[in-house]
Chains A and B, each alone.
Chain A
Amino acid sequence: MANRAITFREIEGKGGFYALLAGCGVFLLLGAYAYFQMEHHGHVITGMDNQIVWGMPHVIALFLIVAASGALNVASIASVFGKSIYKPLAPLSALLALALMAGGLTVLMLDLGRSDRMIIAATHFNFKSVFALNVFLYTGFFAIVGAYLWFMMERRMNRWTTAAGVAAFIWRLTLTTGTGSVFGFLVAREAYQSAVLAPLFIVLSFAYGTALFLLTLAAASALGRLSLGAAVVQRLKNLLATFVAGALYLVVVFHLTNIYFTRNHGVEQFILLDGGIITGVFWVGQILIGSLLPLLLLLLPGRPEAALSRILTACVAVVIGGLAQMYVTIIGGQAWPLDLFPGYAARSSFFDGEIHAYAPSLVETLLGLGGFAIAAVIVIIALKVLRLLPEKLDDATLDPQQAKCTAS
């Protein structure tokens, strides 16, 4: 097979490499500073309260965790579905998945009220809790994807790659179902009462992960001074467009099914029409920037030389839209008050019957951005010390057969 001839190598990494590493390092330090502030003062210095109990750290952490599962797309398509063009990119895909998961989980853990009690979370389990199941799904993800990466990179273990790839594929679908179910199982929250949440999260993960993979691939090829083949980018572009369209479809289905039930009209009206900032984030962030703009950028025909920058712009839009989606789901769902007494208007000192406001503070936002920094630093260092990328990323190397056909 042609792929056996491909040589993998570390990137050389000169000036730009260290500048990027330093830039991410600054965010890492700011994240650490934010964590120690929150640890010392408590959540009193955040915008979270007893009404909005999960804030910006959850928005970013869940985005990263969902994206981690999707970042494995390229590796899965290579190992599970046997597409040889993606095989040279599979190690980077697996590493990105691990890095994003590490970033997301770190933020999630550091936002705990008692982050010093991690050992309890690792030793005391209530197996009825989706959270406890997720502890196993997340740690299992590290083990399985870690082994998968090792099998791909160690020639003696290559024969186990497909088996590990299939295991990782099944595992990550289960993991995203688990993440979606964190919300799906909340009986009293009107915004979350839908079985569509789990499949929606899976398709969202495909879109976020592919977008972040494309951005990482472009950055890595720039750092390594490798020219990126147009064919593989085109394929990933089509894949991303399909995922964005699929996610948009499920978002529409989710809201339409909610609207069908009269009891949910209030919360749907809040999210879609008169929720102020939440409605704005939904329409502008999630739908316009996160769905329609990328579809337009990815699907409209244009000059090929402008293609890469247009695709990367679409990827950035998908990431912004993903964060908006998480904001609407997590914050919007909590902002809508619980209806303890249907048919009654309620008021109390504890904000019953009121729409809850939330303004994220700087510290919690920095903590969340620290998660992105962790993922970025892991990828940047790994590119320098591990043989993750092929020597060349041009079409002739990645897809020799296709290149031959085109040439002839």
Chain B
Amino acid sequence: MSESEQSGRRAFLGATAAAAAAGLGFVALAPGMQLIKFAEAKAGMAGASSKVRWGMLIDTTRCATGCTDCVTACATENAIDPGSGRPGQSSQWIRKIELKEQSTGREISLPMMCQHCADPPCVDVCPTGASFKRADGIVLVDRHTCIGCRYCMMACPYKARSFVHETLTQQNPEVPRGKGCVESCTLCVQRVDKGQEPACVEACSKGDHTAMLFGDLNNPTSEIARRIATTASSQVRADLRLDPGVRYQGI
């Protein structure tokens, strides 16, 4: 083999190797690039804004004793079934509490769920940062980083969180849940991001109770902000100074 033939062969091999490397690189990177494209598209659609603070105002004088429309709607929307275990082990994202004032005997009925605190103790104690607060004030659990230590359940003053004790079936694809993780009311984030109200609020209106009002606490023209500015409302365990996003009237 002459020297020029040899150098030609080397050049060919080099070019082939370079092309193969470029091809491999493309094959390796392309799915990632595509994912970034998807992610960017999604971010543009659903990014939470810190200008907004989602909240709820609950008028306990309109909430009927024994009515569980909000609880049923939450279970349907988020595919929460009672499970096969003991009732103490099933998840309850929202529950009705019946109260009786000890000194007067006055009775109150109200829904209780994650209060979406501005300073949530669950976020403070979570070792991995799985408990987090979105820019718009919604407190969530990252399903991928929750290790199921349940420290947030110990810390939450509202008993708002549940631990998934067993394997789940029949889930709503938009509401990922899983055995061994902690979960709580998401304020129906999947609906809020589409411009809808949480399922419990919608059900309460449909049932003609209109005890639950959802909206942006930061927007002075929103109905919730106007109502809170003009009528007396209270925060549950206000002494803890957690600034919950859910307010109550009539207690």
* A-to-B contact residues, CB < 8 Å: 41-44, 48-51, 53-54, 112-115, 117-118, 120-121, 124-126, 128-132, 135, 182, 185-189, 334, 338, 340-341, 343-352, 356
CB within 8 Å of A: which B134-178 residues: 145-151, 153-159, 161-167
Contact B112 A345 (CB under 8 A): no
Chain B residues whose C-beta falls within 8 Å of the C-beta of A131 in the assembled complex: 125-127, 149, 151
B205 contacts partner chain A, Cβ-Cβ < 8 Å? no
Tell me the bound Cα distance from A186 to B121 in angstroms. Answer: 8
B124 contacts partner chain A, Cβ-Cβ < 8 Å? yes
CB within 8 Å of A: which B223-250 residues: 236-237, 240
Q: Which of B15-23, B44-52, B83-91, B208-216 contacts A (4 or more CB under 8 A)?
A: B83-91
Contact B125 A112 (CB under 8 A): no
Chain A residues whose C-beta falls within 8 Å of the C-beta of B167 in the assembled complex: 42
Chain A interface mostly: loop
Contact B112 A348 (CB under 8 A): yes
B3 contacts partner chain A, Cβ-Cβ < 8 Å? no
Residue of B nearest to A337 (CB): B159
Q: Give min CB distance, A198 to chain B, whole Å.
A: 16
Tell me the bound Cα distance from A350 to B68 in angstroms. Answer: 13
Contact A126 B126 (CB under 8 A): yes
Residue of B nearest to A351 (CB): B88
Contact A49 B96 (CB under 8 A): no
Tell me the bound Cα distance from A125 to B161 in angstroms. Answer: 21
Contact B180 A112 (CB under 8 A): yes
Residue of B nearest to A133 (CB): B127
Q: Give min CB distance, B91 to chain A, whole Å.
A: 7
Residues of B in contact (CB 8 Å), total 60
Contact B102 A125 (CB under 8 A): no
B179 contacts partner chain A, Cβ-Cβ < 8 Å? yes
Contact A124 B145 (CB under 8 A): yes
Q: Give min CB distance, A83 to chain B, whole Å.
A: 38
Tell me the bound Cα distance from A400 to B127 in angstroms. Answer: 50
Tell me the bound Cα distance from A258 to B23 in angstroms. Answer: 71
Residue of A nearest to B100 (CB): A345
Chain A residues whose C-beta falls within 8 Å of the C-beta of B149 in the assembled complex: 112-113, 131
Tell me the bound Cα distance from A49 to B123 in angstroms. Answer: 21
Residue in B98, B99, B101, B155 whose beta carbon sits within 8 Å of that of A188 in the complex: B155
Given the known interface contacts A43-B165, A113-B179, A350-B159, the answer about A187 and B121 at a Cβ–Cβ threshold of 8 Å is yes
Tell me the bound Cα distance from A326 to B129 in angstroms. Answer: 27
The 5 A-B pairs at the shortest CB distance, nearest first, are namely A113-B148, A113-B180, A188-B157, A49-B88, A131-B127
Tell me the bound Cα distance from A65 to B88 in angstroms. Answer: 29
Residue of A nearest to B90 (CB): A50
Q: Give min CB distance, A281 to chain B, whole Å.
A: 20
Contact A113 B96 (CB under 8 A): no
Pairs across A and B, CB under 8 Å, 9 listed: A112-B149, A113-B150, A129-B125, A131-B151, A185-B125, A187-B157, A348-B95, A348-B97, A352-B159
Residue of B nearest to A183 (CB): B154
Contact A120 B162 (CB under 8 A): no
Q: Give min CB distance, B64 to chain A, whole Å.
A: 15
Chain B residues whose C-beta falls within 8 Å of the C-beta of A43 in the assembled complex: 89, 163, 165-166, 180
Contact B89 A49 (CB under 8 A): yes
Q: Give min CB distance, A22 to chain B, whole Å.
A: 33
Contact A186 B154 (CB under 8 A): yes
Chain A residues whose C-beta falls within 8 Å of the C-beta of B7 in the assembled complex: none
Contact B164 A113 (CB under 8 A): yes
Residue of B nearest to A349 (CB): B95
Given the known interface contacts A43-B163, A44-B166, A346-B99, the answer about A125 and B147 at a Cβ–Cβ threshold of 8 Å is no
Q: Give min CB distance, B93 to chain A, whole Å.
A: 10
CB within 8 Å of A: which B45-92 residues: 71, 83-92
B103 contacts partner chain A, Cβ-Cβ < 8 Å? yes
Q: A187-B240, A340-B237 are in contact. List 11 more A-B contacts (CB 8 A).
A: A42-B179, A43-B166, A50-B91, A117-B148, A125-B129, A340-B112, A343-B101, A344-B102, A345-B102, A346-B98, A349-B95
Residue in A53, A118, A350 whose beta carbon sits within 8 Å of that of B163 in the complex: A53
Q: Give min CB distance, A4 to chain B, whole Å.
A: 45
Tell me the bound Cα distance from A122 to B148 in angstroms. Answer: 14
